[in-house]
Amino acid sequence: MMKLLEAAISISMASNLQISERSHFNFSCHYLNPSATHHLPFFISLPNSRTGKAKSWKLIKPLPSATSCNQSAVDDETLLDLPPKNEVLGGISSSSNCCSKMSRKGRVFFLDVNPLCYKGSSPSLHAFAHWISLFFSQVSLNDPVIAVLDGEGGNEYRRRLLPSYKANRQKILQLPAVKRFPKSSFGRSNKLVVEVLQKCNVPVVKIEGHEADDVVATLVEQVRLKGYRAVIASPDKDFKQLISEDVQIVIPMPELDRWSFYTVKHYVAQYNCDPQSDLSLRCILGDEIDGVPGIQHLVPGFGRKTALKLLKKHGSLENLLSAASVRSVGRQYAQEALTKYADFLRRNYEVLSLKRDVAVQIEEHWLSRRDQSNDSVIISSFLDFLSKTRDGRWRTRSPSNGLKATT
């Protein structure tokens, strides 16, 4: 009798243990597909950020994120159930708790307009029309897009710090042929650009006294705080300092006649360094295109190899300069350069760093899905307008038909 009682107690304890294990398993992965529960160690669930409830759960592999120069970035192939292959969701460190829940929404695109209005170094509205046509049809689709233009006098702050900053850039895009048309009809060509974008349901932001780069950096930070991923559409390398698991760049590639995504993975492969060190690296090496001199002009032996080695060890320019002020951080030439030209490097940092405190606030309706139904008609009408005679006028025919050029 005692043996039977002991056996019953043993079975009961085993049953309770099994129930306890199952309860923990189901609690941790309640929204996983039961058929895939054997993959539990390799997946993590992400909730809908608005409600905190399981309405839009996705699975990702918790690979190490590229938080140091020796770590690899998350590959697009690690994503599951995400529509476009080019979308990249932030990787989760393997040290993260598998029960932690991170908020993620969709993508928001930021269109850096001014560089798209050039073909090489020559202003070209045909180039603008070409690139936004490819962008809308192949990249952003109906994801929200926010276009940003340079404000008048946007360079003045940086030029006061460094007179050579962008001294070789053309001040404003002008369409040469526009001079033949009445100013009352057209004005500056960037007004045409704004009209095209607005008719394609793209809000356009232009803040006087600020460059588009700073406005984009400010808005990117705001959408990230709302749980969105940001994609910056621009050929401008200044935006590489913003790259993270939540921020990508998509670059127009004239030689391939398409847009190409640039992510943490691509940055690490190109520079063998963490994107967080990008700004510090450029401050040391300078930026010839933007008219920012590097330290190699003052100390010829201080090049990319030395800069990368020091930044990998110290992480940032300020950390490096602070260390060099109290002890030796490298060879004598590097040590002397960092102590003698510390102010020079800090000035470069002030000039090259993107500001994130511009007085602009993201509006909720900017984050809505974009109606793309009239894109092709509007862009075709714009191209038609560009080919018309000097007496042409561009007008709205109807919301459904977009724009019409008439003579």
pLDDT digits (tens, 9 = 90+) for 158-205: 999 999 998 876 444 444 443 333 343 333 688 899 999 999 999 999
The Cα 242–Cα 92 span in angstroms is 19
pTM over 0.75: no
DSSP 3-state assignment of 173? coil
Q: Say which amino acid occupies 375.
A: D
User: Where are the extended beta strands (E) located within 258-374?
Assistant: 258-262
Give the tokens for residue 52. 């905190």
367-370: long-range pairs with CB below 8 Å, 24+? 367/108, 367/144, 367/223, 367/226, 367/228, 368/144, 369/142, 369/143, 369/144, 370/140, 370/142, 370/143, 370/144, 370/145, 370/200, 370/201, 370/202
Give the tokens for residue 131. 């690139």
Residue 3: what pLDDT?
52
Which of 377, 307, 381 lies closest to 341, judged by CA? 307
- Cβ-Cβ contacts under 8 Å for 128 (sequence gap 6 or more): 113, 116, 117, 193, 196
Residue 103: what pLDDT?
52
The CB-side HSE value for 90 (13 A sphere, CA atoms) comes to 23
Residues of the chain under the 70 pLDDT cut: 1-104, 169-188, 389-407
Q: What are phi and psi of 292, to 5 degrees?
A: -105, 110
Residue 46: what pLDDT?
28
